[in-house]
Amino acid sequence: MSDSVPIDDGYCFACGPENPIGMHLHFENLGDEGVRAQTELAPQFQGWRGIAHGGIAISLLDEAMAHAAGYAGYRGVTGSMSIRFRRAVPLGEPIVIRGRVAWKRGKVLGLAAEVRDLSGALLIEGEGHFVSRGSVHDAVDRRNPRA
């Protein structure tokens, strides 16, 4: 990957509205509390019967962190993540995904994210370091003005 500012062209696997096989997550900005999305994962995201593949579960956290960074004004890329699986992430049941910026030092953002079921049980949680590639206003995708 080059050092250029990432471009949102609508095809992100996790949140892109143009991606026909994506998860189509939509995050809301909660201000100082970060971001939140609610979804039900479809059967195509299965690992073992009835539960999400581990890579899909990690994608939920990564996306929550990216959106938390974005709503805080930063466009960046994942540098590292640490994940803790607490319980299986179910398919076809509502889950809540949250992310927030924990700290910023220079171009590095510390982020945290979690996935819970509607009863509040923690399913998976993680921390990550993102490298800022500039402000969300630094780049515009000429093919997609929403970027």
What is the rounded CA–CA span in Å between residue 103 and residue 111? Answer: 7
CA nearest neighbour of 99 among 14, 53, 32, 44: 32
Counting every residue written for the chain, the total comes to 147
Buried b (16+ CB within 10 A) or exposed e, 48-82: eeebbbeebbbbbbbbbbbbbbbbbebbbeeeebe
Contact 144, 9 (CB under 8 A): yes
- Domains of the chain and CATH, by start: 28-135 (3.10.129.10)
pLDDT of residue 5: 59
Contact 133, 3 (CB under 8 A): yes
pLDDT of residue 23: 86
- Per-residue confidence at 138, pLDDT binned at 50, 70, 90? low
86: three-class secondary structure by DSSP: coil
**If residue 65 lies in a helix (H) or strand (E), which one and from where to where?**
helix 54-71
When the pLDDT of each residue in the chain is averaged and rounded to a whole number, the result is 88
**If residue 63 lies in a helix (H) or strand (E), which one and from where to where?**
helix 54-71
pLDDT of residue 14: 84
**Residue reference for tokens 């143009």:** 18
Percentage with pLDDT > 70 across the chain: 86
Give the β-pairing of 28-29 and 94-105. unpaired
Q: Using the predicted structure, report yes or no on whether residue 108 has a pLDDT greater than 50.
A: yes
Q: Using the predicted structure, report yes or no on whether residue 61 has a pLDDT greater than 70.
A: yes
pLDDT of residue 2: 47
pTM for this entry: 0.85
Q: Using the predicted structure, report yes or no on whether residue 71 has a pLDDT greater than 70.
A: yes
